[in-house]
Structure 1
Protein backbone atom coordinates (compact mmCIF):
# COMPACT_ATOMS: atom_id res chain seq x y z
CA UNK A 1 0.00 0.00 0.00
CA UNK A 2 2.87 2.41 0.74
CA UNK A 3 4.17 1.80 -2.77
CA UNK A 4 0.77 2.68 -4.19
CA UNK A 5 0.79 5.95 -2.27
CA UNK A 6 4.17 6.92 -3.69
CA UNK A 7 3.45 5.95 -7.30
CA UNK A 8 3.25 8.87 -9.77
CA UNK A 9 -0.36 9.99 -10.21
CA UNK A 10 -1.49 8.28 -7.02
CA UNK A 11 0.10 11.00 -4.89
CA UNK A 12 -2.30 13.59 -6.32
CA UNK A 13 -5.21 11.20 -5.84
CA UNK A 14 -4.17 10.50 -2.23
CA UNK A 15 -4.15 14.22 -1.35
CA UNK A 16 -7.59 14.88 -2.88
CA UNK A 17 -9.04 14.42 0.62
CA UNK A 18 -7.08 17.37 2.01
CA UNK A 19 -8.92 20.62 2.64
CA UNK A 20 -11.85 22.11 4.51
CA UNK A 21 -15.16 20.24 4.42
CA UNK A 22 -18.61 21.52 5.47
CA UNK A 23 -20.51 18.70 7.16
CA UNK A 24 -24.00 17.72 5.95
CA UNK A 25 -25.76 19.58 8.79
CA UNK A 26 -23.84 22.73 7.74
CA UNK A 27 -22.90 23.49 11.35
CA UNK A 28 -19.21 22.54 11.34
CA UNK A 29 -16.16 22.55 9.08
CA UNK A 30 -13.60 19.76 9.32
CA UNK A 31 -10.05 20.32 8.06
CA UNK A 32 -8.44 17.15 6.71
CA UNK A 33 -4.67 17.08 6.32
CA UNK A 34 -1.81 14.64 6.08
CA UNK A 35 -0.10 13.59 9.27
CA UNK A 36 2.82 11.33 8.47
CA UNK A 37 1.55 8.59 6.17
CA UNK A 38 -2.10 8.99 7.17
CA UNK A 39 -4.79 11.67 7.23
CA UNK A 40 -6.53 13.33 10.17
CA UNK A 41 -9.50 15.68 10.44
CA UNK A 42 -10.12 18.37 13.05
CA UNK A 43 -12.99 20.76 13.72
CA UNK A 44 -11.88 24.24 12.62
CA UNK A 45 -15.25 26.02 12.71
CA UNK A 46 -18.66 25.56 14.35
CA UNK A 47 -21.87 27.46 13.75
CA UNK A 48 -22.64 27.22 17.46
CA UNK A 49 -19.34 27.67 19.28
CA UNK A 50 -21.03 28.60 22.55
CA UNK A 51 -24.02 27.09 24.33
CA UNK A 52 -27.30 28.98 24.18
CA UNK A 53 -30.14 29.53 26.65
CA UNK A 54 -31.79 26.31 25.42
CA UNK A 55 -28.86 24.38 26.95
CA UNK A 56 -29.67 25.65 30.44
CA UNK A 57 -28.39 28.51 32.60
CA UNK A 58 -25.29 26.58 33.73
CA UNK A 59 -24.07 26.26 30.10
CA UNK A 60 -25.47 29.43 28.48
CA UNK A 61 -22.65 31.46 26.95
CA UNK A 62 -19.93 28.88 27.66
CA UNK A 63 -17.70 27.33 24.98
CA UNK A 64 -19.16 24.14 23.46
CA UNK A 65 -17.26 21.15 24.84
CA UNK A 66 -16.97 17.40 24.31
CA UNK A 67 -19.56 16.81 27.03
CA UNK A 68 -20.67 13.38 25.74
CA UNK A 69 -17.18 11.87 25.91
CA UNK A 70 -17.16 8.59 27.88
CA UNK A 71 -14.00 9.77 29.68
CA UNK A 72 -15.06 12.39 32.28
CA UNK A 73 -11.57 13.95 32.13
CA UNK A 74 -12.12 14.86 28.44
CA UNK A 75 -15.63 16.32 28.71
CA UNK A 76 -14.38 19.87 29.29
CA UNK A 77 -12.21 20.08 26.14
CA UNK A 78 -13.56 22.49 23.49
CA UNK A 79 -14.97 20.97 20.30
CA UNK A 80 -13.23 23.54 18.10
CA UNK A 81 -9.80 22.05 17.45
CA UNK A 82 -10.92 18.52 18.34
CA UNK A 83 -9.57 15.71 16.15
CA UNK A 84 -12.55 13.77 14.74
CA UNK A 85 -10.83 11.65 12.06
CA UNK A 86 -7.55 9.77 12.24
CA UNK A 87 -5.69 6.83 10.78
CA UNK A 88 -7.01 7.15 7.22
CA UNK A 89 -4.70 5.66 4.57
CA UNK A 90 -5.16 5.99 0.83
CA UNK A 91 -5.84 2.71 -1.00
CA UNK A 92 -5.15 3.37 -4.69
CA UNK A 93 -6.88 0.16 -5.83
CA UNK A 94 -10.09 1.10 -4.00
CA UNK A 95 -9.68 4.83 -4.71
CA UNK A 96 -10.62 5.38 -1.07
CA UNK A 97 -9.15 6.30 2.30
CA UNK A 98 -9.51 3.28 4.56
CA UNK A 99 -8.68 1.89 7.99
CA UNK A 100 -9.55 5.13 9.75
CA UNK A 101 -11.60 6.10 12.74
CA UNK A 102 -14.21 8.79 13.28
CA UNK A 103 -15.35 10.21 16.61
CA UNK A 104 -18.98 11.28 16.95
CA UNK A 105 -19.08 14.11 19.49
CA UNK A 106 -22.89 13.93 19.59
CA UNK A 107 -22.79 10.55 21.35
CA UNK A 108 -19.14 10.18 22.44
CA UNK A 109 -18.62 7.04 20.35
CA UNK A 110 -15.79 6.05 18.02
CA UNK A 111 -16.36 4.14 14.76
CA UNK A 112 -14.26 2.67 11.98
CA UNK A 113 -14.50 4.73 8.81
CA UNK A 114 -13.64 4.96 5.16
CA UNK A 115 -13.84 7.96 2.86
CA UNK A 116 -14.49 8.38 -0.86
CA UNK A 117 -14.11 11.61 -2.83
CA UNK A 118 -16.35 11.07 -5.89
CA UNK A 119 -15.74 14.61 -7.16
CA UNK A 120 -13.31 17.40 -6.18
CA UNK A 121 -15.92 19.11 -3.99
CA UNK A 122 -17.74 16.08 -2.52
CA UNK A 123 -16.60 13.74 0.24
CA UNK A 124 -18.56 10.69 1.43
CA UNK A 125 -17.65 9.37 4.87
CA UNK A 126 -18.93 5.99 5.98
CA UNK A 127 -18.75 5.18 9.67
CA UNK A 128 -19.32 1.61 10.78
CA UNK A 129 -18.97 -1.06 13.44
CA UNK A 130 -17.21 -4.23 12.30
CA UNK A 131 -17.79 -4.11 8.54
CA UNK A 132 -18.74 -1.18 6.27
CA UNK A 133 -22.10 -2.83 5.54
CA UNK A 134 -23.09 -2.16 9.17
CA UNK A 135 -22.88 1.61 9.18
CA UNK A 136 -24.06 4.90 7.82
CA UNK A 137 -22.78 7.51 5.39
CA UNK A 138 -22.73 11.27 5.31
CA UNK A 139 -21.77 13.65 2.51
CA UNK A 140 -19.58 16.70 3.08
CA UNK A 141 -18.93 19.60 0.70
CA UNK A 142 -15.57 21.27 0.13
CA UNK A 143 -15.51 24.86 1.35
CA UNK A 144 -13.02 27.70 1.38
CA UNK A 145 -12.34 30.52 3.84
CA UNK A 146 -13.78 32.85 4.94
CA UNK A 147 -16.00 30.59 7.00
CA UNK A 148 -19.67 31.51 7.51
CA UNK A 149 -20.60 33.77 10.43
CA UNK A 150 -21.10 31.95 13.73
CA UNK A 151 -24.48 32.05 15.40
CA UNK A 152 -23.00 33.99 18.32
CA UNK A 153 -22.00 36.79 15.92
CA UNK A 154 -25.23 36.91 13.90
CA UNK A 155 -27.49 39.75 14.96
CA UNK A 156 -31.17 40.24 14.20
CA UNK A 157 -32.12 43.33 12.20
CA UNK A 158 -35.73 43.41 13.43
Structure 2
Protein backbone atom coordinates (compact mmCIF):
# COMPACT_ATOMS: atom_id res chain seq x y z
CA UNK A 1 0.00 0.00 0.00
CA UNK A 2 2.90 2.35 0.81
CA UNK A 3 4.33 1.84 -2.71
CA UNK A 4 1.01 2.80 -4.31
CA UNK A 5 0.94 6.02 -2.27
CA UNK A 6 4.53 6.84 -3.29
CA UNK A 7 3.71 6.10 -6.93
CA UNK A 8 0.65 8.36 -6.86
CA UNK A 9 2.61 11.16 -5.18
CA UNK A 10 5.40 10.85 -7.75
CA UNK A 11 2.87 10.88 -10.62
CA UNK A 12 1.13 13.95 -9.16
CA UNK A 13 4.42 15.83 -8.76
CA UNK A 14 5.47 14.95 -12.31
CA UNK A 15 2.14 16.18 -13.68
CA UNK A 16 2.43 19.40 -11.69
CA UNK A 17 5.99 20.00 -12.88
CA UNK A 18 4.94 19.41 -16.51
CA UNK A 19 2.03 21.85 -16.16
CA UNK A 20 4.23 24.51 -14.57
CA UNK A 21 6.91 24.10 -17.23
CA UNK A 22 4.32 24.53 -19.99
CA UNK A 23 2.77 27.52 -18.23
CA UNK A 24 6.11 29.31 -18.26
CA UNK A 25 7.13 28.46 -21.82
CA UNK A 26 6.71 31.49 -24.11
CA UNK A 27 7.46 29.32 -27.15
CA UNK A 28 4.70 26.79 -26.42
CA UNK A 29 2.53 28.53 -29.04
CA UNK A 30 4.99 27.87 -31.89
CA UNK A 31 3.76 25.50 -34.58
CA UNK A 32 1.00 25.11 -37.15
CA UNK A 33 -2.62 25.65 -36.09
CA UNK A 34 -5.91 25.00 -37.95
CA UNK A 35 -8.60 27.64 -37.49
CA UNK A 36 -11.99 26.77 -36.00
CA UNK A 37 -13.75 26.60 -39.37
CA UNK A 38 -11.09 24.25 -40.75
CA UNK A 39 -10.55 26.54 -43.73
CA UNK A 40 -6.95 27.52 -43.07
CA UNK A 41 -3.78 26.81 -41.15
CA UNK A 42 -1.46 29.39 -39.64
CA UNK A 43 2.16 28.84 -38.69
CA UNK A 44 3.06 30.78 -35.54
CA UNK A 45 6.72 31.75 -35.33
CA UNK A 46 8.95 34.04 -33.33
CA UNK A 47 10.80 37.08 -34.62
CA UNK A 48 12.96 38.69 -31.94
CA UNK A 49 10.88 38.64 -28.76
CA UNK A 50 7.50 38.84 -30.52
CA UNK A 51 5.24 36.24 -32.11
CA UNK A 52 3.76 36.30 -35.61
CA UNK A 53 1.70 34.00 -37.81
CA UNK A 54 1.33 33.39 -41.52
CA UNK A 55 -1.15 31.39 -43.58
CA UNK A 56 0.49 28.15 -44.72
CA UNK A 57 -2.53 26.15 -45.94
CA UNK A 58 -5.98 26.92 -47.33
CA UNK A 59 -8.80 24.43 -47.81
CA UNK A 60 -9.67 26.28 -51.02
CA UNK A 61 -6.32 27.63 -52.25
CA UNK A 62 -7.44 28.67 -55.73
CA UNK A 63 -10.17 30.69 -57.37
CA UNK A 64 -12.57 28.91 -59.78
CA UNK A 65 -10.29 29.92 -62.68
CA UNK A 66 -7.34 28.12 -61.04
CA UNK A 67 -5.43 31.22 -59.97
CA UNK A 68 -4.28 31.47 -56.33
CA UNK A 69 -6.71 33.24 -53.98
CA UNK A 70 -5.71 36.79 -53.15
CA UNK A 71 -6.50 39.39 -50.49
CA UNK A 72 -9.47 40.77 -52.47
CA UNK A 73 -11.18 42.34 -49.44
CA UNK A 74 -8.23 44.45 -48.36
CA UNK A 75 -9.20 48.12 -48.01
CA UNK A 76 -5.91 49.11 -49.72
CA UNK A 77 -6.39 48.51 -53.41
CA UNK A 78 -2.70 47.86 -54.06
CA UNK A 79 -2.76 44.91 -51.58
CA UNK A 80 -5.72 43.13 -53.15
CA UNK A 81 -3.49 41.13 -55.48
CA UNK A 82 -1.25 39.66 -52.77
CA UNK A 83 -1.70 35.90 -52.28
CA UNK A 84 -3.51 34.67 -49.16
CA UNK A 85 -1.09 31.76 -48.83
CA UNK A 86 1.97 33.17 -47.10
CA UNK A 87 0.07 36.19 -45.78
CA UNK A 88 1.19 37.32 -42.32
CA UNK A 89 -2.11 37.61 -40.46
CA UNK A 90 -0.90 37.57 -36.83
CA UNK A 91 1.50 40.30 -35.69
CA UNK A 92 3.42 41.59 -32.68
CA UNK A 93 2.25 39.28 -29.88
CA UNK A 94 4.04 39.55 -26.55
CA UNK A 95 4.13 36.69 -24.05
CA UNK A 96 2.57 37.80 -20.75
CA UNK A 97 2.95 34.55 -18.79
CA UNK A 98 0.45 31.86 -17.81
CA UNK A 99 -0.01 30.75 -21.46
CA UNK A 100 -1.23 34.19 -22.62
CA UNK A 101 0.07 36.30 -25.54
CA UNK A 102 -1.30 39.85 -25.85
CA UNK A 103 -0.81 43.21 -27.57
CA UNK A 104 -1.07 41.58 -31.00
CA UNK A 105 -3.14 42.16 -34.10
CA UNK A 106 -5.01 39.73 -36.29
CA UNK A 107 -5.94 40.42 -39.91
CA UNK A 108 -9.15 38.82 -41.19
CA UNK A 109 -8.92 38.39 -44.98
CA UNK A 110 -12.67 37.66 -45.15
CA UNK A 111 -13.44 41.23 -44.13
CA UNK A 112 -10.17 43.03 -44.80
CA UNK A 113 -10.14 44.24 -41.18
CA UNK A 114 -7.41 44.32 -38.55
CA UNK A 115 -8.35 43.64 -34.94
CA UNK A 116 -6.58 43.78 -31.62
CA UNK A 117 -5.93 40.24 -30.53
CA UNK A 118 -4.88 38.02 -27.66
CA UNK A 119 -4.14 34.30 -27.60
CA UNK A 120 -4.45 31.80 -24.79
CA UNK A 121 -3.06 28.28 -24.84
CA UNK A 122 -5.78 26.18 -23.18
CA UNK A 123 -3.80 22.96 -23.44
CA UNK A 124 -0.90 21.73 -25.58
CA UNK A 125 -3.13 21.40 -28.66
CA UNK A 126 -5.83 24.06 -28.18
CA UNK A 127 -5.36 27.79 -28.73
CA UNK A 128 -8.05 30.42 -28.15
CA UNK A 129 -7.56 33.38 -30.49
CA UNK A 130 -9.68 36.40 -29.53
CA UNK A 131 -10.01 39.33 -31.91
CA UNK A 132 -11.67 42.50 -30.70
CA UNK A 133 -12.20 46.22 -31.21
CA UNK A 134 -11.41 48.46 -28.26
CA UNK A 135 -11.71 46.14 -25.28
CA UNK A 136 -11.61 42.35 -25.27
CA UNK A 137 -15.21 42.24 -24.05
CA UNK A 138 -16.35 43.24 -27.56
CA UNK A 139 -14.91 40.51 -29.71
CA UNK A 140 -14.99 36.95 -30.92
CA UNK A 141 -12.96 33.91 -29.91
CA UNK A 142 -11.95 31.23 -32.39
CA UNK A 143 -10.58 27.92 -31.14
CA UNK A 144 -7.59 26.65 -33.11
CA UNK A 145 -6.20 23.11 -33.01
CA UNK A 146 -2.52 22.27 -33.26
CA UNK A 147 -1.49 20.47 -36.42
CA UNK A 148 2.31 20.46 -36.17
CA UNK A 149 4.46 21.37 -33.19
CA UNK A 150 7.70 23.22 -33.82
CA UNK A 151 10.60 20.89 -33.21
Q: TM-score, normalised on structure 2?
A: 0.81
Q: Which runs of 4+ in 1 moved over 2 A?
A: 9-12
Equivalence for 2:34: 22
Q: CA deviation at 1:124?
A: 0.3
What SS does the corresponding residue of 1:80 show, helix, strand or coil? coil
Name the CA shift for 1:11/1:34 in 2 (closer, same or farther; >3 Å).
Answer: farther
The count of residues paired between Structure 1 and Structure 2 equals: 129
Find the counterpart in structure 2 of residue 132 from structure 1: 136
Offset at 1:10?
A: 7.8
The corresponding residue for 1:47 is 59
Looking at structure 1, the residues matched to 23 and 147 of structure 2 have their Cα atoms a distance apart, in angstroms, of 22
Choose between structure 1 and 2: higher helix proportion.
2
Equivalent of 2:96 in 91, 116, 124:
91
Q: CA RMSD in A?
A: 1.7
Q: Deviation per CA, 1:59-97: give whole Å up to 9, x if none.
A: x211100000000000000000000000100001x5310
Structure with larger Rg: 2
- 1:56-71 alignment, distance < 5 Å: 60-71=65-76
Which residue number in structure 1 is paired with residue 126 of structure 2? Answer: 122
**Separation (CA, whole Å) in 2 of partners of 1:144 and 1:127:** 23
Unaligned runs of 5+ in 2: 1-20
Looking at structure 2, the residues matched to 105 and 82 of structure 1 have their Cα atoms a distance apart, in angstroms, of: 9
| Structural mapping, 1:103-122, within 5 Å | 103-122=107-126
Matched with 1:35 is 47
